[in-house]
A and B are shown apart, each in its own frame.
Chain A
Amino acid sequence: MAEERLATRTQFSASAESQKPRLKKAPEFPILEKQNWLIHLHYIRKDYEACKAVIKEQLQETQGLCEYAIYVQALIFRLEGNIQESLELFQTCAILSPQCADNLKQVARSLFLLGKHKAAIEVYNEAAKLNQKDWEICHNLGVCYIYLKQFNKAQDQLHNALHLNRHDLTYIMLGKIHLLEGNLDKAIEIYKKAVEFSPENTELLTTLGLLYLQLGIYQKAFEHLGNALTYDPTNYKAILAAGSMMQTHGDFDVALTKYRVVASAVPESPPLWNNIGMCFFGKKKYVAAISCLKRANYLAPFDWKILYNLGLVHLTMQQYASAFHFLSAAINFQPKMGELYMLLAVALTNLEDTENAKRAYAEAVRLDKCNPLVNLNYAVLLYNQGEKRGALAQYQEMEKKVNLLKDSSSLEFDSEMVEMAQKLGAALQVGEALVWTKPVKDPKSKHRSTSASKAANFPQPLGSNQALGQAMSSAAAYRKPPSGAGGTSQLTKPPSLPLEPEPTVEAHPTEASAQIREK
């Protein structure tokens, strides 16, 4: 019975519709825009099903003349990913009312989304003729030029857009151009202005903070990251960056509380778990550190920094075989880093494979340019093997590096390293020619045995420093540096802005070693 009733009802509406058109006498034309308000209301509430139903009805009634209905239908198509269809509908709209710049803008936007940047630019220029003072047109033109890598034109258009009306997004794009060009100072300049304009935009604050971080201006970096966190206490990028800064300064507990906030929001972030692991390492909770690092490694098996840290922790735990395993994996991903070979050599030394340890050291020395530790460790090994001449050569190499470092900055050296170097110096009878910043303790006679045993835990304190630096850079370098082509959709405007977090820290491994020296 119920079915019957349903059937009759549908019949009813069908017959009513078929009756409507073509009454003999001149019919009143329906008002085209009759239900535009309803379409719009459904559209902004994202109730697309209801919206489509009204659109269909409206188009049927007006025989496809209702421009706004077509327009919204096209917008919905675009949201659903049917960009080609949306483009066609927008073109229909542009035919229905050729004077409307809005339609042209949408046509251009669809072209832009289809990757036809040149065509998009043409249409935008058409639209700009109809509406001179539209920041959106200028902004989008700028974005198109970015994709075409015509950065000068892009800058001009974006500046035009800013001149017409200031929007955060335009600043971000402009900053991005400077980053793509590798001009950090200019990018910072832009972001500064942007932050001035909208001081509560966390994305701008974070980006600026990370740029400062990259330049090593820690005070300002911390200030901006902190600001970002006051407005949005769960900002992933800002917390990670701020946390790694705290870690560098040894505030492991504070850093951990910060990470706790992110862990619930982004539980599958490898850099986060890496940093948490290194916090535990700093607190000497090695098992926790290893489990966190393993998790990070599980989430990002190809991240050499995590592998490096794992190797380091295992060295500390005197689990040399595991350390060797992780370090060699790290070397596979990052074959150009002296420190990695050095750690590998330490692991090999402890595994009593002196031959390979020597080869690893040789590789480390070949690759490394500024870290005196590499040479020192090598010298210790050579000395222990009785190869005094080789040891002496390495010792002198180390002295050179130390002098170089002392000239360039007034950093303090790790006390344990200094002590070891002095012992070795005495053993090699080079004397105390080397002037360390720290006062020298009297090197007693029991060098050989001590240095041998010391060599084993040698990398430990030093390693921890390094690890922290590393942990940080791994947090920071989460985003790959802009690889020239901005071919991804990251540069698009919202609402099509992807959710993909796009952290903006660009710390390079060199920065990490800088921090070691800083200690």
Chain B
Amino acid sequence: MAAASPSDSDGSRAESREASSKWLDAHYDPVANIHTFSACLALADLHGDGEYKLVVGDLGPGGRQPHLKVLKGPTVLTESPLPALPAAAVTFLMEQHEPRTPALALASGPCVYVYKNLRPYFKFTLPQLPPNSLEQDLWNQAKQDQIDHLTLKEMLEGIREKAEVPLSVQSLRFLQLELSEMEAFVNQHKSKSIKRQTVITTMTTLKKNLADEDAMSCLVLGTENKELLVLDPEAFTILAKMSLPGVPVFLEVSGQFDVEFRLAAACRNGNIYILRRDSRRPKYCIELSAQPVGLVRVHKVLVVGSTEDSLHGFTHKGKRLWTVPMPAAILTMNLLEQRSRGLQAVMAGLANGEVRIYHDKALLNVIRAPDAVTSLCFGRYGREDNTLVMTTRAMHRTFQTDLYLLRLRAARAYVQALESSLSPVSATAREPLKLHAVVQGLGPTFKLTLHLQNTSTARPILGLLVCFLYNEVLYALPRAFFKVPLLVPGLDYPLETFVESLSDKGISDIIKVLVLREGQSAPLLSAHINMPVSEGLAAA
């Protein structure tokens, strides 16, 4: 995986079709079967052996079988199933002491699963949200049967219309019910306390107190509840909580938690909010007028990709610096950082299969992938410092369709063979037979030997017939139809017959051999024998 191009020393795992001098194709696996996003890719030295691994939070085909995959070089090292779809995967150092092996954190649903040495280590769950107090009171009354269902419904609806704190799922469900169903529902649920749980939408890391590369980091979580949480790396307590006007989708952090930090959060409302250490609310706001599809910080510039097919550069105060149009929709973005050269650039995977690398406004490089790139990750992999990992979208789909097609064709052919009994091995369980034929001689007279074998273990077969079907203009056989003697299991019965070729034009045809059971018209077996051209006649 090492790359040693004289102009540049980059390695690339996935491939670029055109031989560009900047990248070396290291490995390309079109059937890796990985469905993921850039947020779920991470490169880290998980075992502290200097061999960097690739961590993939894989959603599985159709988002149904989420797995945590760890790849070493081109092979999958470990693969473990996940309880729910991963929203983000990061690696971070959670303690100071040696050996400094990074832990792996996977955000999924309301939980963060922390792995050390690839073993489950800790599970952090988001605290429950405070329920609406009025709603709580109502259900308490319902519990003591002080309130009838219709009143409950009306009151809950009133809360839904007005209140700041939204209702719990339980109440929302209740509001949907018909009158007849309410009774049962209330009885079933009234003893439970009201719960409101939110989920994690995005996650990143923030250095705790040192800027070093191997310093401890806090986890920063964005939640569906429009909040940002900073977790302590050792105790997993919530160090800070900030609220946003929108649901965060992408996060970008710089600085250290204990000193000063800047946090940019791209939100679902199309805005990007910038917060600082002491601000509980956003300090600056960038309104994009389109949805952001990626957020990357390059030095002091925030680079945002928008659904309007363009990259925008912003200062950390939210002032627009530049805009670069893209030839196709942006699917994913990530940072390319080559430490040895101090180079930082933005990579953008486009729907047309290109990966474009920009340094500010300047286009550095274009990589053409065989398909639309859905996730990108650059960093140290194995022992190579500069590796680009890309996953593509339709590659797997194509493979899957091809595979299905192949299976379908095979099945069809098999069914056809069964139906026409074309196979040389009989399919029925009662008469397990094997047939093969040999043609000997140069012609015009050939000797055709049929080898019939009963492949059952114990049972002999009786009452079989052999029938030849052939073109009577071309061939003549002494007997076109004869009885087969009793077949003892395991023995090979050679049945010989002569075939006379009648044509002098050097043409040959197929002779069909059918093995039949007495009294049945459908053959048990059939074989097509390609007769050779009669040499003897030509010689004569």
Q: Which residue of A lies closest to B109 (CB)?
A: A34
Question: Which residue of chain A has the shortest Cβ distance to B170 in the bound complex?
Answer: A29
Q: Is B114 an interface residue (CB 8 A)?
A: no
B-facing residues in A21-36 (Cβ within 8 Å): 26, 29-36
Contact with B along A38-71 (1 / 0, CB 8 A): 1011011111001001100000001111000000
A33:B411 contact, CB within 8 angstroms: no
By the criterion CB–CB under 8 Å, are A33 and B172 in contact? no
Chain A residues lying within 8 Å of B404, measured Cβ to Cβ, are 2
Q: Which of B62, B109, B161 contacts A53 (CB 8 A)?
A: B62
Residues of the B chain whose Cβ atoms lie less than 8 Å from the Cβ of A41: 37, 249
State whether the Cβ of B160 lies closer than 8 Å to any Cβ in chain A: yes
In the complex the two chains form, what is the Cα distance from A165 to B224 in whole Å?
26
Q: Is the CB of A1 within 8 A of B170?
A: no
The answer, yes or no, to whether B329 is at the interface (CB within 8 Å) is yes
Q: For the complex formed, measure the closest distance between the CB of A349 and the CB atoms of chain B, giving whole angstroms.
A: 54
Q: How far is the CB of B200 from chain A (nearest CB, A)?
A: 8
Partner of B169 from the list A2, A31, A54 (CB cut-off 8 Å) is A31
A132 → B minimal CB distance (Å): 13
Given A34-B199, A40-B268, the answer on whether A494 and B290 have CB atoms closer than 8 Å is: yes
A495: contacting residue among B85, B290, B320, CB under 8 A:
B290
Count chain A residues whose beta carbon lies closer than 8 angstroms to a beta carbon of B: 43
Q: Is B33 an interface residue (CB 8 A)?
A: no
Give per-residue flags for B239-280: 1 if the beta carbon is below 8 A from chain A beta carbons, else 0. 000000001010000000000000000001100000000000
Residues of A within 8 A of B291 (CB): 43-44
Interface presence of B147 (CB below 8 A): no
B443 within 8 Å of A by Cβ? no
Indicate if the CB atoms of A495 and B408 lie closer than 8 Å: no
Complex Cα gap A46–B323 (Å)? 21
Do A31 and B411 have beta carbons less than 8 Å apart? no
Interface positions of B from 49 to 90, Cβ below 8 Å from A: 59, 62-63, 84-85, 87
Of chain B, the residue at the smallest CB distance from A1 is: B411
A198–B320 CB distance below 8 A: yes
Partner of A3, one of B161, B173, B329, B411: B411
Across the two chains, which residue of chain A brings its CB closest to B287?
A165
Tell me, rounded to whole Å, the shortest Cβ–Cβ distance linking A200 to chain B.
6
For A232, the chain B residues whose CB sits under 8 A away are 325
Which of A34, A40, A99, A495 meets B249, CB within 8 Å? A40
A34 to B126, CA, bound (A): 13
Q: Which of A26, A50, A65 has the most CB of B within 10 A?
A: A26
- Known contacts A33-B198, A53-B62, A200-B322; A45 and B161 CB within 8 A of each other: no
Q: Does A388 interact with chain B (Cβ within 8 Å)?
A: no
**Which among B59, B199, B268, B331 is the interface contact of A45 at CB below 8 angstroms?**
B331
**CB atoms of B293 and A35 under 8 A apart:** no
Q: What is the minimal beta-carbon distance from A302 to any residue of chain B, in angstroms? A: 34
B308 part of interface (Cβ distance < 8 Å)? yes
Interface centre among A40, A41, A99, A135 (most CB of B within 10 A): A41
Residue on A with the closest CB to B110? Answer: A31
Separation of A98 and B393 alpha carbons in the complex (Å) = 38
**In the bound complex, how far is the Cα of B192 from the Cα of A369, in angstroms?**
91
On chain B, the residues within 8 Å of A47 by CB distance are 393
Query: Which chain A residues border B325 with CB–CB below 8 Å?
Result: 232
Q: With a CB–CB cut-off of 8 A, which chain B residues contact A33?
A: 198-199, 224
How many Å lie between the Cα of A41 and that of B332 in the bound state?
10
Cβ-Cβ contact count across A and B, 8 Å cutoff: 105
Q: Which of A346-373 contact B (CB under 8 A)?
A: none
Chain A residues lying within 8 Å of B109, measured Cβ to Cβ, are 31, 34
With a cutoff of 8 Å between Cβ atoms, the chain A residues found around residue B410 in the complex are 2
In the assembled complex, the Cα of A272 lies from the Cα of B393 at a distance in Å of: 40
**Contact check: which of A30, A37, A198 meets B87 at CB < 8 Å?**
A37
A107 to B197, CA, bound (A): 28
Please indicate the chain B residues that have their CB under 8 angstroms from the CB of A38 in the complex: 59, 63, 85, 87
A98, B201: Cβ atoms closer than 8 Å: no
Chain A residue nearest in CB terms to B107 = A37
CB nearest to B393 among chain A residues: A47
Q: Is A97 an interface residue (CB 8 A)?
A: yes
Q: Does A102 contact B (CB under 8 A)?
A: yes
Residues A35 and B224 in contact, CB atoms below 8 Å apart: no
Q: Which of B85, B162, B307 contacts A46 (CB 8 A)?
A: B307
Q: Is A456 on the interface with B (CB-CB < 8 A)?
A: no
A454 beta carbon closer than 8 Å to chain B? no
Q: Which of A26, A53, A493, A494 contacts B189 (CB 8 A)?
A: A26
Q: With CB as the reference atom, state the residue of chain A lying closest to B320.
A: A198
Q: Which one, A45, A169, A198, A200, contacts B293 given CB within 8 A?
A: A45
Chain A, Cβ-Cβ closest to B305 = A44
Please indicate which of the listed interface residues B168, B172, B289, B308 has the most CB atoms of chain A within 10 Å of its own CB.
Answer: B289
| Given the contacts A33-B198, A65-B173, A44 and B292 also touching, CB distance less than 8 Å | yes
A37-B308 contact given A2-B410, A31-B110, A98-B161, CB 8 Å threshold: no
- Of residues 409 through 434 on chain B, the ones whose CB sits less than 8 Å from some CB of chain A are 410-411, 414
Q: Is the CB of A31 within 8 A of B85?
A: no
Report the minimal beta-carbon distance from A137 to chain B, rounded to whole angstroms. 13
CB neighbours of B408 from chain A (8 A): 2-3
Question: Beyond A36-B247, A63-B173, A135-B287, is A2–B407 a contact (Cβ under 8 Å)?
Answer: yes
Q: Judging by beta carbons under 8 Å apart, are A97 and B198 in contact?
A: no
CB distance B329 to A26 under 8 Å?
Answer: no
Question: A167 within 8 Å of B by Cβ?
Answer: yes
Encode A256-277 as 1/0 by CB contact (under 8 A) with B. Answer: 0000000000000000000000
The reply to whether the CB of B202 lies closer than 8 angstroms to some CB of chain A is yes
Q: Which residues of B contact A99 (CB under 8 A)?
A: 161-162
Report chain B residues within 8 Å CB of A34. Answer: 84, 109, 199
Closest approach, in angstroms, between the C-beta of B89 and any C-beta of chain A? 14
CB-defined contacts of A102 to chain B, threshold 8 Å: 269
A2-B410, A32-B169, A167-B289 known; A98-B160 Cβ under 8 A: yes
Taken together as a complex, chains A and B put the C-alpha atoms of A43 and B172 apart, in Å, by 26
Contact B224 A37 (CB under 8 A): yes
A2 to B409, CA, bound (A): 10
Enumerate chain B residues within 8 angstroms of A40, measured Cβ to Cβ: 201, 247, 249, 268
Asked if B176 CB lies within 8 Å of chain A CBs, one says yes
Chain B residue at minimum C-beta to C-beta distance from A45: B331
Task: Enumerate chain B residues within 8 angstroms of A495, measured Cβ to Cβ.
Answer: 290, 307-308
B439 touches A (CB below 8 Å) = no
Which residues of B (464-509) have their CB < 8 Å from a CB of A? none
Q: Is the CB of A37 within 8 A of B329?
A: no
Shortest Cβ distance from A318 into chain B, in angstroms? 49
Residues of B within 8 A of A1 (CB): 411, 414
In the bound complex, what is the Cα–Cα distance between A229 and B161 (angstroms)? Answer: 53
Residues of A within 8 A of B173 (CB): 29, 63, 65
Q: A88-102: contact bitstring with B at CB < 8 Å (1 yes, 0 no)?
A: 000000000111001
Q: How near does chain B come to A434, taking the closest CB pair, in angstroms? A: 57
A–B complex contacts, Cβ < 8 Å, 16 sampled: A3-B408, A3-B411, A26-B191, A29-B168, A29-B173, A33-B224, A38-B63, A38-B85, A53-B62, A65-B172, A65-B176, A97-B166, A99-B161, A169-B289, A494-B289, A494-B290
Question: Lowest 6 A-B CB distances belong to which pairs?
Answer: A2-B407, A29-B169, A37-B201, A33-B224, A44-B291, A44-B293
Contacts A37-B202, A169-B289 supplied; 13 other A-B pairs, CB < 8 Å: A31-B198, A34-B84, A37-B87, A37-B201, A37-B224, A40-B268, A41-B249, A53-B62, A63-B176, A65-B173, A136-B289, A494-B289, A495-B307
